[in-house]
A and B are shown apart, each in its own frame.
Chain A
Amino acid sequence: MAYRVGVDIGGTFADFCALDEATGAVRTLKVLSTPAEPGREVMQGIAELQRRFGIAPSDIGYFTHGTTVGINAVIQRKGVKLCMFATENFVDVLELARLKMPDPYHLLSRRPEPLVTRDRVFGIRERMLADGSVDLPLDHASLRDALDRARAVGAEGIVLSFLHAYRNPAHEKEAARLIGEWAPGLPVFPSSSVWPIIREYERTSTAVVHGYVQPRVAAYIASLQASLRKAGVTTEPMITKSNGGVMTAELGKTQCIQMLLSGTAAGTMGAAFVARHAKVPRVLALDVGGTSADVSVIVDGQPSYRSGEMVGEFPIYIPTVSVTSIGAGGGSIAAVDAFGTLAVGPESAGSTPGPACYGRGGMRPTLTDAFVVCGFMGHSELGYSAVTVDRAKAEAAMAPIAAALGRDLQSAAEAVIQVAISGMYREVSKLAAHQGVDLREFSLLAFGGGGPMTACLLARELGMASVLVPTTPGVLSALGGLVADVKNDFILTVYAPLSVETLPQLREGFGRLAREAEAWLRDRQGHRGTPRLAASADLRYHGQSFEIETSIDLAWIDTGDVARIAEAFHREHERIYGHADREARVDAVALRMIVIGESAKPALPTQDRRAGPAAADAWIDVLLDGQPRRVALHRRADLVHGMTFDGPCVIAQDDTTTIVPDGYAGSVDAFGNLHLTRGS
């Protein structure tokens, strides 16, 4: 029982990260993912771990897993057939959403078709008011009638969306109970139990996405559990969550809304883990994959959180590690229009057929092909021998771009790189302006297959002084799952002014959340360590339409220190918006509690120090910043603690290539991470 294994499944590869608990050594592996048969790649990888590294399934003492089964079901619209029961006269909550169209300049812009179409939405006679009192009791006959009609159209699940259920869930609970009696076995998803927030569209959208994927995800997890057992893995698998934590697979079967965005969250957690080890306090994590780049902000080893993230075309409002996806990746396709304008993306060759240079049927030029044509790639085996680089194919694909631009092949390829980088610059600077951070104080932590390739070029545009490349940039999500804590979020909507009068209500609310949170960790997770609780409240000035989640010390609640709570909010408002109004009335919209059961953190091994300049493994010809250059090629495995090197150079390893332009000085830290710093 000596290994912890993390598995993360992406579009092209399933990434494996195995950590030897005795030595801290990390082994990594990639196998091609098998989206048609989810789970098969997991078994292949487990077999491969044994074959390559001698890790027997029975040696695996801890197993974490991130899956895309849920998000794929939404994107491909292959979830179950849901019906929705909504408060009578308010059945269009999904049709109307929040009205605003995706592209407000376009006269034909439309919202995506809801996952539950209007013919499967039924009005129920019942009405709860904003204060939680009953205006109209739940009418059993109308519920029964709706159920009969739902079954007639073949409902495989029922979502309940009753007004003000966040405040008083009694009608949703009663309806769920009755449906359970009348139609045993038919899954029911009350909006108040999925995530009980105020705002009917946001709550309902979350419940619908949850219900839509839940039966699919539960079936997948059950089959995974069975396969693992059959393969001889005896430990109960853990599932990674969108909030950066993990939960047991058994719990995942019922709480699948929690795992839909776990892939990007785990990547950020992996990046945060690396940043903590490398002692880099402010990090912009950049994960460049085939079709998109995921960007997140990490300060003092902690990511930021957000709700309202998109799952395919639909928003969900559970707390999620904040990750912004940019439509630029290694597979982004380059094209020149009739006006001579070169665009890169958003169309992507994805993983199939992929860039032309992979020789898997792709014919159109991609960003990856541009790096190949410029000479940066093709000096190492890629993706653990899964694919090889064919420079001739990349050049053939680039030829039409060169012709359209009137440039030679390499110069055209460099134009593709420049335009792609400037597009990434545009999106990342928007993110920075949105969050109000000054990127000049940040380091760029690059991972994913394309991250280290683009990192220095992008960091230079953004005015960022340094770049950090972890030892295993290809499997950071798998690593992130491996080091995650058991974690869950709880929310209680209160909608009350923050005052001495309402303090008992807040105290009672936090008490209830704490009891719920501890019970979850103890009873549902079987966690035996000491729970760590973190309380916060969604606060706002009276009249504002948005809230700020403000951390609360539970001692302030115990001692009744309302002023401290308000001051914490004023400060947070000031930090984010640049101003605060200490005279204004503060309202509490919701109380939150996070419970964390810490998992044992592996200690990464440190390397022996071998100071001195790194020797080039070879010299290669590239086109860099408009100049043909002969630059050093380093093998990543040769770069160990204490070594230094200077740009321009290229560093090859089996899951990525790092490009280091002129003006960058490189060094290797004790964990093997590369620190690339630009001289002033």
Chain B
Amino acid sequence: MAIDPVTLQVLANHAQAAAEAMAFTLFRTAHSTFVKETEDFTSGLTTPEGMTFASPRDLGATWFIGLDYGNAIRMIQDYRPGDVCITNDPYSGYVCTHTPDLHIWKPIFWGDEIVAFAVGHIHNTDVGGAVPASLSRQLTEVHQEGIRIPPSKIYEEGRLNKTLLDVMLTNVRMPEQNWGDFKAQLASVATGERKVHEMIRRFGVDTFRQGIQDLLDLGDRRARAVLGKIPDGDYHFVDYLDEDGPGGVPVRLELTLRIRGEECVLDFTGSDPQLHSSLNVPTGGAERHILLMVGYTYSLYTIDETIPLNGGITRPARCIIPEGSVLNPKFPAAVGMRSLTCGRLQSLIIGAFQAAMPQAMPAGPGSSAGIMNVKTIDAKTGRRIMASINPMTGGAGGSSFGDGADGSGANSSFLKNTPVEVNEAEVPIRFRRYGLVPDSGGAGKARGGLATELEFQLFSPNSVVTARNRDRTRFSTWGAMGGDPGATSSFWRNPDSNHAEDLGNTDVVNLDPGDIIRIKAAGGAGWGPAWERDPALVMRDVSEGKVSVAAAARDYGVVVRDGALDAAASESARAQLAAAAASRAPAHFRFNPARDAYEREWTDASYAALAAVLAMLPVHWRHFVKRRIFDRVAAMPAAERRADGGHVRAIFAEAIASFPELRHIRPAAE
């Protein structure tokens, strides 16, 4: 029996206040600068079953609406008042998704009964393992990614489990910092417990118990109403990571979004097998795993921003993810850098929703293009300095509502930069440029947002620049409804010199004194045909230096002479652009030439063939065989490739024949 809707609304405000108070408490008392700078933490309240019903909106990471703690909660038997549990193991119930995230949950009792859990996580800067900060693309097994704590009680009835704590702190590089941040987590869940007790005194335990379920039900109903507005159909979309590891081949992410009435299925079949790098996304194949639902949540909220942000909104959705794929890797695949894949996964889902709701959803987002860190030596003091200097961000995609945000936005909206002045005061480097990249936004009736660019110089030998999460130097953002793709990202050492080096998606660069680094993020994509853009808006972009005179003529057919619009010349130029487009095959999405070329080499049919043959292999063979097939296809003259993917099957047959361990596999005859 649902509680009265007015009481529910009052209860919703109290629950929200509790989650926000938990977040502020954690943020205020955390020790590490990392937490304060990146806000990579969350806090919240779950039902006794573990579904989050209240999350903060003002502070913290945006990925964790509807995180289900159920699996981790159930791994502990016999909760007592005063217990506090933790885990940072990505393979213990898939609540935690990489080792730096230390998750905490505390049962909240009322009498003998658990009425809720106070939960949350902090991304620790380091949890030990093969590399400082515990994260590297090169790692291949989760064992290299630091210490792993399976779901365990760190406090039993209020008594600290000193042994567990010592084990934990012995295995990390900055134990004081982790301990300091952990105390902030403890303060946060204690605040949550106090707030829930206040709520129960205010509303009564029956109303509380029912009310938190009603909040989820309301989220569920609201999400169904949004899905109900979307026409029934299968919406297919594919997006790629540039490479599956240093110097690797692309990673294909594939989604068929099936909208049926007020429910939907996100079928990720066709996505690549799990990788021999740490880009895997650990989901356990759960139907509504949190990392699979981020793009879904963003999309629903963008279509209707009045929906409540709680776990209930994920209920009408169900995911299908083949086991052993990059989105459902098997233990012990490394998963540390899953955030790079998650960024693309979000744009994949945004793309499928864009196909379904082209007027409500934007074109492709530039997303993050790397978190820049510098390690160098201060010439004056001789001190080693390690500093995070800036996240690189691309623009948002255009939409029927207008241009994409310049410089950031869409799924990188949560990132903050560091002022140039602060960086220069603290790190012995010199900034040469920080700003927007003209012409980087995809042309469109609504222009894609411009990317950002950063250029700086280092002065000390043995300096190292790391750029975590590099991507989009090959495949750029996708235009929608006739809009153009955005510009690709780029990363150069000593650009414009006779010893320039294209760093591509490299994420660790060793540098010499005087070297200059230039990095550009990817531009957001355009929405709608560029020649339909109001010439006055193109003129504004030109006068603001966001679009060059040349690009205005080339992409928009807007001819500028002596700073003024040449209306007659523009009219004919726009007519020509429209005619040229009419002669092309109609397509909802537009990709950059590199992707079009790649998809001529690797067609949907070839990929289907690949997926079919790899599915016959044991999981630990798939990536290996896939790379072998890729090498062979790349070496093959284009004429020998077959549109139906037959050449893939042929190569596969040869491959299994050459490995005795695989000889028992019998591919179907051609």
Contacts and interface: CB of A to CB of B under 8 A. Distances in A.
Nearest to A495: B425
Interface of A is mostly: loop
Contact of A419 (B9, B37, B309, B407): B9
Contacts of A111: 405
Given A164-B424, A436-B28, A579-B29, A422 B10 contact: yes
Interface in B504-544: 540, 543-544
Interface string A409-433: 0000001001100110110011011
Interface in B1-45: 5-6, 8-10, 13-14, 16-17, 20-22, 24-25, 28-29, 31, 33, 36-37
Contacts of B413: 100-101, 103-106, 109
Contact of B365 (A107, A129, A429): A107
A433 B21 contact: yes
Interface in A458-473: 461, 463
B401 interface: yes
Contacts of A100: 408, 413-416
Contacts of B362: 107-108
Contacts of B180: 579
Contact of B415 (A99, A129, A341, A579): A99
Contact of B24 (A89, A422, A433): A433
Contact of B305 (A106, A198, A432, A576): A106
Contacts of A129: 424, 430
Interface size class of A (residues with CB under 8 A): 35 or more
A198 B425 contact: yes
Contacts of B417: 96, 98-99
Interface stretch (A315-323, A541-549, A553-561, A600-608): A541-549
A178 B166 CA distance: 65
B435 interface: yes
A609 interface: no
A422 B11 CA distance: 8
A405 interface: yes
B425 A130 contact: yes
B299 interface: yes
A109 B452 contact: no
A568 interface: no
A96 to B, nearest CB: 5
Contact of A339 (B24, B31, B222, B422): B222
A130 B435 contact: no
B409 interface: yes
Contact of A340 (B5, B25, B409, B433): B5
B361 interface: yes
B418 to A, nearest CB: 7
Contacts of B301: 105-106
A461 B201 CA distance: 11
Given A105-B309, A201-B419, A118 B10 contact: no
B545 to A, nearest CB: 6
B421 A166 contact: yes
A92 B391 CA distance: 16
A117 interface: yes
Interface in A578-602: 578-579
A164 B407 CA distance: 23
Interface residues of B, number: 85
Contacts of A2: none
A432 B183 CA distance: 20
A535 interface: no
A419 B432 contact: no
Contacts of A337: 306
Contacts of A103: 305, 413
A119 B5 contact: no
B396 interface: yes
A52 interface: no
Contacts of B29: 577-579
B420 interface: yes
A432 B17 CA distance: 10
Contacts of A433: 20-22, 24-25, 28, 191
Contacts of A426: 13-14, 16-17, 20
A654 interface: no
A287 interface: no
Nearest to B37: A545
B434 interface: yes
A91 interface: yes
Interface string B262-302: 00000000000000000000000000000000000111011
A267 B409 CA distance: 37
A389 to B, nearest CB: 25
B421 A200 contact: yes
Given A99-B415, A106-B301, A415-B6, 19 more contacts: A96-B452, A100-B413, A101-B414, A107-B350, A108-B401, A163-B420, A163-B424, A198-B419, A199-B422, A202-B419, A339-B218, A339-B221, A340-B5, A422-B14, A426-B20, A430-B58, A433-B28, A433-B191, A577-B28
Top 6 closest A-B pairs, CB basis?
A101-B413, A92-B435, A433-B21, A433-B24, A422-B13, A118-B544
